[in-house]
Chains A and B, each alone.
Chain A
Amino acid sequence: GEDVEQSLFLSVREGDSSVINCTYTDSSSTYLYWYKQEPGAGLQLLTYIFSNMDMKQDQRLTVLLNKKDKHLSLRIADTQTGDSAIYFCAERGSGTYKYIFGTGTRLKVLA
């Protein structure tokens, strides 16, 4: 079945760039998402990318998609302490409402 994998932890220094990686198995995935979860809160959509795109930039966020390798990454430029959170990758196919989430990557930003 479909699977989405992420590394569990990432630690970076304030001001550095963070890169969070995700791999997925469903080749029919049409939409790929990045969500952010702060402590005690629900998930907040950060950005998304369609499977026919290679890259999407949105202010400090850059999403790269390698469809051949089924690899998705989220780069956060100039990482701030407020970026400390859990980041989830998710995918869904066209015509389906079912989202498959990764395990989440806990980003810790050191001052």
Chain B
Amino acid sequence: KAGVTQTPRYLIKTRGQQVTLSCSPISGHRSVSWYQQTPGQGLQFLFEYFSETQRNKGNFPGRFSGRQFSNSRSEMNVSTLELGDSALYLCASRDSVYEKLFFGSGTQLSVL
């Protein structure tokens, strides 16, 4: 099986712009979750989607949003980018809470 695929791998944006990140989960996995990783805050949970429904949300402002499509692929959108949004954004998939979580390689976002 192919692993979790995230695109793009690197992204450079300027303050005020918006960005969309994409994630394709492992085939058959219905749950997709997103995490932000920074040197200062570590890994922080953004949100989780299961069968196109947002099931959980972390403590991030409304500028961070996501969605999941019927084929389980997910997108994450950040509007009005701020310098502090520079981070590695990781997507992960699994089929149930009792199973391992599999991560993609991430999208490194730099906001200038």
Partners in one complex: no
